[in-house]
Amino acid sequence: MISVENLTKRYSAFTAVDDVTFTCEPGTITGFLGPNGAGKSTTLRMITGLTSPTAGRTTIGGIGYAELPNPGRVVGVMLDAAAQHPGRTGLETLRLSAALMGLPGRRADEMLERVGIADAAKRRVGNYSLGMRQRLGIGATLMGDPQLLILDEPANGMDPEGIRWMRGLLRDFAHRGGTVLLSSHLLGEVQATVDRLVVIGGGQVVAQGSLAELLQRQGVVVRGLDPSGLRRALEGAGLAVDVQPDGGYRVDGTAEQVGRAAALAGEVLTELRDSDGAGLEDLFFELTSASDRGAATSVAQLAESRRTN
Ligand SMILES: Nc1ncnc2c1ncn2[C@@H]1O[C@H](COP(=O)(O)OP(=O)(O)OP(=O)(O)O)[C@@H](O)[C@H]1O
């Protein structure tokens, strides 16, 4: 388990990470999501002992990263795939990882096969594409057969096939009881991969919960013959209504609640369906801009602020 408790990092007067708390459980993939500059990398650097916190603490399996006797055997960390030495070949890179962890060199060859770049084993990493470096980086994280993975923007530079491959690999890792924490600034990228989301904006956690929970909050999409009459009926029934760019309404409620409110007011519906997370992107922007206002610190507060806006 990864545990982050009241973690804060200040650079002079600037607070990059502000009282962040979350946990990542075995058997799950947690997405750490936020726009550029939100504080994701700083948090991951603190978890992995590369930056010291101003306040708070982080543990991996109950102990601090710096106290792990052979960290690579416990947690695979990839913070910057582009940082690999450009003059070494992929094989040399992984052989070095193997040597540092006291593993046999042949493991490097097996790993290159596993991450799909065996045919580039003897090429210099400087000539790899970013997607190939990500594969190599993921290979390096897996060398010590760890129970946890911490990956900063692992999908950066990967093509759709690469992203699908990585998704399968991480799913399989979590399925076998592993714990994964991965960051991204793109909601669409993590949505299909993760079980849980921790959303960060302006250094603060603005929402966290299971993906299902956060998706559920998206309610239903509804349209009627008389849009303004339908809106009056829904709001009259106490349902919060968001007008979509295409003129439909997204409603925080169930199809039954919406159907009943419309029927009571004699409104004819032309469409009523689950929003299928279509609004999760809106939620992401809403959540992160809410953090700039310092308004919402939890899903509950955000939900409240959406109801009253
Ligand atoms: N060493 C440092 N000194 C001063 N400010 C820093 C330092 N490191 C990070 N910051 C600032 O802290 C904030 C958070 O940065 P961080 O790299 O953690 O964001 P991020 O969410 O990972 O963004 P990105 O997706 O762009 O990598 C940014 O405003 C950044 O400029």
Average pLDDT over residues 50-63: 94
- 110 and 254 in a common domain: no
User: pLDDT per residue over 245-260, tens digit each?
Assistant: 777 898 888 899 999 9
3: helix, coil or strand?
Answer: strand
DSSP string, 267-292: PPEEEEEE-TTTTHHHHHHHHHHHHH
Element (H, E) at 180: strand 179-184
Question: Left (φ > 0), alpha (ψ -120 to 50) or beta: where does 184 sit?
Answer: beta
22-46: per-residue pLDDT in tens? Answer: 999 999 999 999 888 889 999 999 9
pLDDT for 240: 87
Read off the pLDDT band of 59 (50, 70, 90): very high
DSSP state of 71: G
Backbone angles phi, psi at 108, to 5 degrees: -65, -45
Mutate to test the pocket of ligand 1, among 15, 33, 40, 205 (most ligand atoms within 8 A of CB): 40
**Tally of CB atoms within 10 A around 125:** 21
Instruction: Name the nearest CA neighbour of 184 among 290, 14, 18, 44.
Output: 44
- Spatial CB neighbours of 193, under 8 Å, sequence gap ≥ 6: 29, 31, 166, 167, 170, 171, 182
Kindly tell me if the per-residue pLDDT of 276 is higher than 80: no
Measured from the Cα of 44, ligand 1's closest atom is 18
Q: Helix-strand-coil percent breakdown of the chain, rounded to 5?
A: 40, 25, 35
Mean pLDDT within 85-108: 91
Report yes or no on 24 lying in a domain: yes
* Distance, CA of 118 to CA of 69 (rounded, Å): 31
% the chain with pLDDT above 90: 60
pLDDT at 5 over 50: yes
Ligand 1 mean position to 79 CA, how many Å?
Answer: 13
pLDDT band at 283 (very low <50, low <70, confident <90, very high): low
pLDDT cut 70: percent of the chain above it:
88
Same domain, residue pair 46 and 88: yes
42 Cβ inside 6 Å of ligand 1? yes
For residue 296, pLDDT beyond 80: no
Helix (H) or strand (E) holding 210: strand 204-210
Decide if pLDDT at 157 tops 60: yes
Position in ligand 1 atom list of the atom nearest CA 12: 4
Q: Is there a domain that residue 85 lies in?
A: yes
Q: Which residue range is the domain that position 8 belongs to? A: 2-209
Q: pLDDT at position 306, please?
A: 45
Closest CA to 294 of 15, 7, 13: 15
**Ligand 1 near 38 CB (within 6 A):** yes
Nearest CA among 35, 31, 7, 62 for reference residue 150: 31
Q: What is the pTM of this model?
A: 0.79
Same domain, 111 and 234: no
On whether both 99 and 125 belong to a single domain, the answer is yes
Q: Angle CA(91)–CA(170)–CA(131) in degrees, nearest 5?
A: 45
Does the Cβ of 36 fall within 6 Å of ligand 1? yes
Mutation test residue for ligand 1: of 10, 11, 47, 150, the one with most atoms within 8 Å of CB: 11
Whether 239 and 166 share a structural domain: no
> What CATH number has the domain bearing residue 258?
3.30.70
Quick check: 108 and 97 in contact, CB under 8 A?
yes
pLDDT at 216: 66
pLDDT band of 8, cuts 50, 70, 90: very high
CA of 16 to the centre of ligand 1 (A): 6
